[in-house]
Structure 1
Amino acid sequence: MITTPPQHAGIDDHSLGHLLYGLMLAFPLFLLPPLLGLAINCAQKSSKMSKLLYSHIRWQRWSMLTLLSMLILAYIVPQTWLAVVLSMLSLCWFCHRIIKGWMALVDGQPV
């Protein structure tokens, strides 16, 4: 009986993606978990994960960096009402994007 060795142990394990989505969705309540998630995300090597997980890691990274850029822009805006509106729209966009990505990961689809 000939058996083939496993290609990559844990290649279909998407628990890292689920953990990072959970940390990022904590953003409206807390600031530290999403920043920790972003640090973990940026530390990942693309060569050690499946294409599906890599697409989600990239999706999360760009979502978080875009949100931080939009919040910095909202902080710089001199009109308070415009800064508040921009911040709220940014948070709604971010939550929508993270939920959409997480649902795609649950379904096994790349984003």
Structure 2
Amino acid sequence: MASTLHSQPLALEDRSLAHLLYGLMACFPLFLVPAALSLLINVYQPQQDSNSTMAVHLRWQRWSIVGLFAVILVGYLASPQWLSTTLYVAGAVWFGGRVFKGWLSLIEGRKI
């Protein structure tokens, strides 16, 4: 009887898309094109259960990319060069940390 309980495989969520998007996000220093492509793919994904692991990671990715673009825009509009450079560097470090934290959580199967 115990063998029948464990014989059915557990339904696992396919996380390959999230891994692909984190990979694209990790390439953000390349003219921001991979991060923008990741955002486009992310936005056009069908809505999932809002509490699923994939939905949480997709939302984390969207807000990370939007935050990076907001910091870059503010840095572009800032007139002193030292302020622009500081914002760019701070935004890149912040975004890199979010990608790292999110990807590790996804690998471990945890929500953020």
| CA deviation vs aligned residue, 1:60-105 (integer Å, no higher than 9, x gap) | 0000001100100000011000110111000000000011000000
Moved more, 29-38 or 68-77: 29-38
| Total equivalences in the alignment | 102
Q: How does 1:1-111 map to 2 (within 5 A)?
A: 12-47=13-48, 51-111=52-112
Moved more, 31-40 or 64-73: 31-40
Q: Which amino acid aligns with 2:105?
A: A
Q: Which runs of 5+ in 1 are unaligned?
A: 1-9
* Root-mean-square deviation over aligned CA pairs: 1.7
Moved more, 44-53 or 26-35: 44-53
Between the aligned residues of both structures, percent identity stands at 40
Deviation at 1:29, TM superposition (A): 2.5
Q: Which amino acid aligns with 1:63?
A: S
Q: Larger radius of gyration, structure 1 or 2?
A: 2
Structure 1-normalised TM-score?
A: 0.85
8 Å contact kept, 1:74–1:87:
yes
Q: CA separation in 2, counterparts of 1:11 and 1:37?
A: 23
Q: Which runs of 5+ in 2 are unaligned?
A: 1-10
Deviation at 1:11, TM superposition (A): 5.5
Structure 2-normalised TM-score?
A: 0.85
Q: Which amino acid aligns with 1:77?
A: A
Q: CA separation in 1, counterparts of 2:54 and 2:48?
A: 11
